Amino acid sequence: MSKFLISLATYNERENLPLITKEIFEYAPDADILVVDDNSPDGTGDWVAEQQQTEPRLKLLRRAGKLGLGTATLAAMKYAVNNGYDFLLNMDADLSHPPKYLPAIRAKAEEGIDVVIGSRYVKGGGVEGWARHRQFMSKGINFYAKLFLGLKTKDNSGAYRCYRTLLLKQLDEKSIVSKGYSFQEEVLFRLNKLGATFAEVPIIFVDRRFGSSKINKKEVVAALWLLFRIGIFGR
């Protein structure tokens, strides 16, 4: 059986972690969970450390501070490669990525696909709880990524993904310039250049139950500018 690692990048997700980890283990009881925590002041990392005493499937990577979503995902990728996992499956920790889709995503990955995306924008997928401006922003970024990065996949900005670690071993970490939300599009661009195969599995994205979103207009503008630079100069 393939060895799966599920990663959650966290900053102030103490309220969500007990719920999301319980659901993940329900749908993927054989997987390990790695929480990459950026020194959350709400005690997120402390909760994980406490749970580890009785739950060996739960792993913790503490970082010194808020270093960005992209670098957190890269840290999880490196952990998966160095610890002999066959797949890394990344999710948001805020319950917006329902764990009930884990079996379908894993099944597609085990068919031989290198990158499987939990997709909002294929038939059967969708979004719940977003205002119109948030939907417009998301679809705009995806169109932008397809235009400038040459990606064929429909959902390039979502983080619900499964990566084959054999491919991640080939990824040049130094070539990745995104530290924030543009990482999601850039890593697909870099893996596409390596010859990765892609598939999308429909999901319904549900807006977070607790806490507040970390994305803002400044992040969006920075992401668009960075993707433009990568698309023009990064090929």
Q: Where are the domains of the chain?
A: 4-233
Look at residue 130 and tell me whether its pLDDT is greater than 60: yes
Closest CA to 154 of 182, 130, 119: 119
Task: For residue 91, report the phi and psi dihedrals to the nearest 5 degrees.
Answer: -140, 160
Q: What is the pLDDT of residue 125?
A: 96
Q: Hey, which of 65-69, 108-112, 147-151, 219-223 has the most confident mean pLDDT?
A: 108-112
Q: Which residue has the higher pLDDT, 214 or 86?
A: 86
Q: What is the pLDDT of residue 219?
A: 65
Q: What is the pLDDT of residue 221?
A: 63
Residues ≥6 apart with Cβ < 8 Å to 213: 94
Pairing of strands 161-164, 115-119: antiparallel
Residues ≥6 apart with Cβ < 8 Å to 17: 8, 10, 35, 44, 47, 48, 93
Q: What is the pLDDT of residue 129?
A: 79
Average pLDDT, the chain: 89
pLDDT band of residue 227 (cuts 50, 70, 90) is low
Q: What is the pLDDT of residue 43?
A: 96
Q: What is the pLDDT of residue 117?
A: 98
Q: What is the number of other CB atoms lying within 10 angstroms of the CB of residue 37?
A: 26
What whole-number distance in Å separates Cα of residue 58 and Cα of residue 6? 10
Architecture of domain 4-233: Alpha-Beta Complex (3.90)
Least confident of 65-69, 104-108, 152-156, 192-196: 65-69
Q: What is the pLDDT of residue 231?
A: 61
Contact 196, 113 (CB under 8 A): no
What whole-number distance in Å separates Cα of residue 88 and Cα of residue 115? 10
Q: In this predicted model, what pLDDT tens digit does every residue of 152-200 receive, in sequence order?
A: 999 999 999 999 999 999 999 888 888 777 889 999 999 999 999 999 9
Q: What is the pLDDT of residue 32?
A: 98
- CA distances to 39, 81, 128, 147, 219 from 226, rounded to whole Å, are 26, 27, 28, 14, 10
Return the percentage of the chain with pLDDT > 90, whole number.
67
pLDDT, average across residues 49-68: 95
pLDDT, average across residues 93-100: 95
The rounded Cα 117 to chain-centroid distance in angstroms is 9
Look at residue 210 and tell me whether its pLDDT is greater than 60: no
pLDDT band of residue 228 (cuts 50, 70, 90) is low
